[in-house]
Amino acid sequence: LIGALSGTNTIWIQGALYGELAFHPVQAIIDDDVVGMIGRFIEGINVNDETLAIDLINEVGPIPGHYLNKAHTRKWWKKEQFVPKVADKLSYPEWLKTGKKDCLTLAKGRYEEMLATHKVKPPLTPGQEEDIERILKEAREYYKKKGLISDREWAAYKKDLESPNYPYA
């Protein structure tokens, strides 16, 4: 949170364990909720005539009036709050009724669901691969001419390009 409040736009916590010396995908899912909450906090709250809805407040009035059936509520409620994917907001009695699942259990379930339902995108066509290689070659040559890639770095690029394992050299 402190990093985000200071204006940092990259925060490395997703899945980190043991002082960032280890990674676990279930921790990454939990961290996704944390980062989402921080992001929502940083967005702040829009205060204007549309979001304040003074006319609607006056129309609905005090209890027993409510806003749940109003178009304004349907328009704004999801944006104005953060709904976590694995940290629940159940009351204690509801939590007991639903099996006392903690955040880690919910994250493991989400992880298993993601693995089971993930659809792999089709691989690149040979033409797309050739286009990417051409663009990378042009970029390397451009940066070499500008002096932004050293001879040592250029030699490493050339060695990688010639590797039988390229692009996984």
DSSP 16: E
List CB contacts of 40: < 8 A, sequence separation 6 or more.
81, 82
Report pLDDT digits (tens) over 38-90: 889 988 988 999 999 999 999 999 889 898 899 999 999 888 888 899 988 89
Classify the C-alpha dihedral 129-132-138-144 as positive or negative: negative
* Per-residue pLDDT, 81: 86
Residue 67's CB: how many other CB atoms inside 10 A? Answer: 15
Which residue is listed with tokens 């379930």?
109
Q: What is the mean pLDDT of the chain?
A: 88
- Rounded to an integer, the average pLDDT of 90-95 is 93
Q: Is 76 left (phi over 0), alpha (psi -120 to 50) or beta?
A: alpha
Which run of H or E residues covers position 155?
A: helix 151-162
**Pairwise CA distance, residues 12 & 8, whole Å:** 11
From the number of C-beta atoms within 10 Å of its C-beta (0-12, 13-18, 19+), residue 24 rates as middle
Cβ proximity of 87 and 103 under 8 Å: yes
